[in-house]
Amino acid sequence: MTTVQDIAVMVEKLAPKHLCEDWDNVGLLVGERNMAVTGVLTTLDVTPEVVAEAEAKGCNMIVSHHPVIFKGMKQITDETTLGRLMIQLISKKIAVYSAHTNLDIANGGLNDLAAAQIGLANVKGLETVHQTGFCKIITFVPATHRDAVMQAMGDAGAGKIGNYSHCAFYTEGTGTFKPLEGANPYIGKVGQAATVKEDRIEAIVPKNLVNSVIAAMKDAHPYEVPAYEVHQLVTPSEEATIGRIGELADTLDTEGFIELIKACFPRGRARFGGAKPDAVTKVALCTGSGAEFIKKAAKMGAQAYVTGDVKYHDMQMAKELGILVADVGHFGTEIGAAQLLAAHIGIQMQEQEVTDVPVVVSDVHEDFFFA
């Protein structure tokens, strides 16, 4: 049986929750974590039409990019659009999980997808939004349970280094202890000193995941009171960035760049403004509403910037900065999230040999701008 929580874990392997901005609202927003999933529908937004589509296709879980609940709700009634939507979801027992700015920021997430659509090379982050320090967790476990404890710690986020996960180090040794009155030892007897062949496990962990990794370690550990240590590391640190900047394979003039963007984002309602450079070789982008990074893009040497929701005075500023801005619309830059999420969940299911839960992309969700 595949549960809502199982799907949540799959999504978080691509877009860890800790990457989201402080003002955001991500994760399981509607539903029961232990509910069995009959099907998953991915979408940009959760609308009444999308909910009806999910029900018609036998999907009792929706995974969206935009949070269905963004600001705090004080009441759920049929007197508001959002209240009616909540009632519709709850009454039909459809869960909703949302991955928003964490999906934008994540490596392999929505910003990287947009960079790939444009065909950028040598892609780097545009703006640093998080810098996470690391700790090292050390624990001691009987050799018979070493693999299970290492697996549990890795599943909780320990040992992720670059494109590798579950990285750890272990050494063999001998542990000694004496269970006292009231103890319930896994090995040994109360009142008698015990000597046990143990392995020492070491793994680095992002500081924000230390507590969850310790909890996972304890759950998998056979000892009544596991011994462990936590050491704060000076290095390494991990940067998370929003937006991307990279290089085109060929230099384009303004008209050539405009045609490229129209072809790359066919569902966007593209507008162009700012400056008209003779040559575009370096391009920056931020999916969604990213006008706030126009200055940063220009400072980093981009001749063009791609985003959505650009205002008149943003374009005026872009012209003064000498940078071409492509406003492809919020929908146009982010509709790829639905396909991205579906592809990722599908791969995770293949790896876990889940064959009885279909994953489908919404085909009813459309841009709220229609002309």
Tell me if 356 is assigned to a ligand binding site.
no
Phi, psi of 224 (to 5 degrees): -65, -40
Is 104 annotated in a binding site? The answer is yes
CA pair distance 92, 61, nearest whole angstrom:
10
**CB-count exposure of residue 133 (10 Å: 0-12, 13-18, 19+):** middle
330 is in an annotated binding site: yes
Question: How many whole angstroms from its chain centre is CA 140?
Answer: 32
Query: 100 a known binding residue?
Result: no
Which residue carries 């304890």 as its tokens? 218
Residue from 242, 287, 300, 177 nearest 20 by CA = 242
Beta bridge partners of 175: 196
Residue linked to tokens 């040994």: 188
Helices assigned H by DSSP within 203-335:
210-220, 254-264, 294-299, 312-321, 330-334
Is 334 assigned to a binding site? yes
Q: Which helix (H) or strand (E) holds 146?
A: helix 146-155
* Distance in angstroms (rounded) separating the CA atoms of residues 52 and 39: 14
Residues contributing to the annotated binding site: 65-66, 104, 330, 334
Residues contributing to the annotated binding site for a divalent metal cation: 65-66, 104, 330, 334
